[in-house]
């Protein structure tokens, strides 16, 4: 098994998309990329910890490639909005790929460059690509949030 970590706005929807992707073994939501140890949701929501709401994806590389996971990531958020996804604003909602090794970093950078060159977006792709720091698992009520509540998407 391998691990990938993505931030693309509110982690509830991001987690749900990846959890239903064939080849993904498990997902968990949490916080990464900040300065506070073991932050809570309420601390992260203050936009003062530096953490992003993120999803850690465990996947089977024999069934899905890291590049395919990157495609799922790009397809399911707007990578051109800095520290924002839809109505959610703050650094905790930034677009980021937290890489676990050099191969992931190379793949993420190439994928981002390809997306920018594709002309799909008129604005620059602002997605951060950075080494994966400590991943702090979010509180239990955030895990598989949609499934626990019987909903299929965020109500905006």
Q: Quote the pLDDT of residue 2.
A: 98
Confidence of residue 153 (pLDDT cuts 50, 70, 90): low
pTM as predicted: 0.93
User: How far is Cα 156 from Cα 151, in angstroms, rounded to an integer?
Assistant: 13
**Tens digit of pLDDT for each residue in 110-150?**
999 999 999 999 999 999 999 999 999 999 888 987 777 77
Query: What's the whole-number mean pLDDT along residues 149-154?
Result: 67
CATH 3.50.50.60 fits 2-149, yes or no: no
What pLDDT, in 10s, does the model give residues 13-57?
Answer: 999 999 999 999 999 999 999 999 999 999 999 999 999 999 999
Sign of the four-CA dihedral 134, 140, 141, 143: positive
Give me the residue spans of the domains in the chain: 2-149
Where do we find the tokens 């002309």?
Answer: 119
- 67-78 pLDDT, tens per residue? 999 999 999 999
Active site residue 10: yes
As a whole number, mean pLDDT of residues 89-114 equals 98
Which residue reads 């089977």 in tokens?
60
CA distance 21 to 11: 15
Hey, what are 84's tokens? Answer: 């924002």
Name the active-site residue from 4, 7, 10, 57.
10
- As a whole number, mean pLDDT of residues 64-90 equals 96
What is the structure's pLDDT at 152? Answer: 64
Q: What is the mean pLDDT of the chain?
A: 94
Q: How far is CA 84 from CA 9, 78, 89, in A?
A: 7, 9, 4
Q: Which helix (H) or strand (E) holds 136?
A: strand 135-137
What percentage of the chain reaches a pLDDT higher than 70? Answer: 97
Q: Give the pLDDT band of residue 95 (cuts 50, 70, 90).
A: very high
Q: Please give the pLDDT value at position 154.
A: 63
| Cβ contact 77:19 at 8 Å | no
């Amino acid at each position: 098994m391998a691990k990938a970590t993505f931030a693309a706005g509110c982690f509830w929807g991001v987690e749900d998309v990846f959890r239903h992707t064939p080849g993904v073994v498990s997902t968990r939501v949490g916080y990464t990329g900040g300065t506070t140890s073991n932050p809570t949701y309420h601390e992260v929501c203050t936009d003062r910890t530096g953490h992003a709401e993120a999803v850690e994806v465990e996947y089977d590389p024999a069934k899905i490639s890291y590049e395919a996971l990157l495609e799922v990531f790009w397809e399911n958020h707007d990578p051109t909005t800095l520290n924002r996804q839809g109505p959610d604003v703050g650094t905790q909602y930034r677009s980021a790929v937290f890489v676990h090794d050099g191969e992931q970093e190379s793949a993420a950078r190439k994928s981002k460059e390809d997306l920018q060159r594709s002309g799909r977006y008129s604005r620059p792709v602002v997605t951060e690509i950075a080494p994966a720091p400590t991943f702090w698992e979010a509180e239990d009520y955030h895990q598989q949030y949609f499934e626990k509540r019987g909903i299929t998407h965020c109500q905006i």
